[in-house]
Amino acid sequence: MTHSTVESEASRGTAPTAPKERRLVIASSYLGTTIEFYDFLLYATASAVVFAPVFFSGLDPWAGTIASFGTFAAGYIARPLGGVIFGHLGDRWGRKKLLVASMMIMGLASTAIGLVPDASVIGPWGAVILVCLRVLQGIAVGGEWGGAALMALEHSDQKSRGFAASFVNAGAPSGSVLGLLVMSGFSTMPQEQFLSWGWRVPFLLSFVLLLLGLFVRAKVTESPVFLEAQQKLEQETAAGAKQRIPLFEVLRRPRTLILVILASVSAFALQTLLSTFAISYSVAAGNPQPQVMLAFAGAGIISIATTLLMGRLSDRTGRRPLLIIGNALFILVIPAVMFLVGQNSMLLVFLGFTLGIVVQTIMYGPMAAFIAERFGTKDRYTGASLGYQIATLIGGGFTPLVLASLYGGQNLTLVIGYLMALAVVSLVTVLFMAESKDRSLHAETE
């Protein structure tokens, strides 16, 4: 690694962000991501417990679950598209403007999901509308993560970047827990009322959260690293230099993008396993649905703290060691996780969810910094968003569908084998990657 790669931010002329402003930016990124993932992962819970009987009532129960998870996957398919669109515009226009736009799209799409008529009213068109709104959710969250991570990262000093960026990833379990608590509260209603209208209320509450998020996000300032890069770009353009397209710059050197995707895929597989398939599996084993959801919510609360802890730890040890340890533990504990969540004891179910989610946060805590630090300022929004979102598509979007198909009501061995294989791929990839903790944010893409 050259001296220019590890050069301090101060020596490059970027004015340090005042502590008060830095805290506001981190709080805004955390709150915004919490709201976005409340909306996005609320759909995951609904796909596991609601959408099969509401929108696919004509199918066999397990077939309906698979079809429901198929609509869930549509959002993940759209996430890379959102990463490209928002990444390109964010690298050109700035992080803040695009974060406001992504939040508006997500909030309005989620609110609309709560208004979609069920199959008894408009037949299969309900499922079609659901998929369209899910795609909008995917586009929005595809743009949200990159912008929020970069705002936190680029406002922070080099010694605390991992911790600052981990607040963005802590927003995912925070939003998931919030959604689960709200949905589980309504799921205690009589089943007929819950399936008729109760499940819709958590989605309609998205509009209230949207207003709160927009109010906070409007108060933050643009990234100083981006402003400096933009000023330099304007000078180069005035001197006759040709403007580069961020997406083309990322794809021109695809090695970094491919490595980021493969290194991250297992963390999303484990996250999505717990929030979808494991809930359905535990309920099918005879556990009450509301209690299973609360058990997962309790584990999710713990994961918020461990995500931040791992982000802080990564500023000392580096991002790479934690991803190696997390993947190795993933391979070791996944059989125990699936055994525990299938038991008829809520204590054991809770322990299973907690074991799985804590291992996941060992990888997830440092991941925002691990990904974003590998791209240059001119294409960081595009590169980080695209890498993260394709990893979520492969590791998270298709996971419920693949696992439900492999399981088929009885074969858990194939489920565990598939998850282990993803962990091995990520582990091997990380072993061949360099540490990014001391990289300057002014360096070019690796």
For the full predicted model, state whether its pTM sits above 0.95. no
pLDDT tens by residue, 197-213 = 888 898 898 888 888 88
> pLDDT tens, position by position, for the chain (446 residues)?
443 444 444 444 445 567 778 888 888 889 888 887 787 777 777 776 777 777 766 655 666 666 666 666 777 788 888 888 988 888 888 788 888 888 889 889 889 988 988 877 887 787 788 888 888 888 988 888 888 888 888 888 888 899 999 999 999 889 888 887 888 788 788 878 888 888 889 889 888 888 888 888 888 888 777 878 777 767 767 776 677 787 888 888 899 999 999 999 999 999 888 888 898 889 988 999 888 988 988 998 999 999 999 999 999 999 999 999 999 999 999 999 999 999 999 999 999 999 999 999 999 999 999 999 999 888 888 999 999 989 988 888 778 778 888 887 677 899 999 999 999 999 999 999 999 998 888 777 77
pLDDT digits (tens, 9 = 90+) for 122-148: 877 877 888 888 888 889 888 888 888
Cα distances (Å, whole numbers) of residue 250 to 84, 116, 231, 386, 440? 11, 38, 21, 9, 18
